[in-house]
Amino acid sequence: MIINPFKINTQKYNVLEKLKDYKWHCTKCDLEAAQAATFRDMKKEGVIFDSDKNGNEYKKINCLCGKQRVHRKLKE
């Protein structure tokens, strides 16, 4: 179980709570449209994101919203 180090009800807190299922989530639809800086800050707190096959710490895949978007997932 991951301990959420962020202040409750902040964007970072909510994003991490969503990612706790270790699935890919659309940053736009599922993760409050969080920006790269948010994920950078989360990394500073020790959050580790999974990578795509090119080593990016995100994956561009088709979303249920019908667009190809950046998705994030925690590293297992």
Interface ranges with Zn ion (CB under 5 A): 26, 28-29, 63, 65, 69
> How many Å apart are CA 35 and CA 39, to the nearest integer?
7
Contact 63, 28 (CB under 8 A): yes
Cβ closer to Zn ion: 2 or 33?
33
Q: How far is the CB of 22 from Zn ion (least distance, A)?
A: 18
CB nearer Zn ion, residue 2 or residue 36: 36
CB contact set of 24 (below 8 Å; sequence gap of 6+): 59, 61, 71, 72, 73
Dihedrals φ, ψ of 38, to 5°?
Answer: -65, -45
Least distance between Zn ion and beta carbon 71 (Å): 8
Least Å distance, CB 54 to Zn ion, is 21
Q: Which is nearer to Zn ion, 4 or 63 (CB)?
A: 63
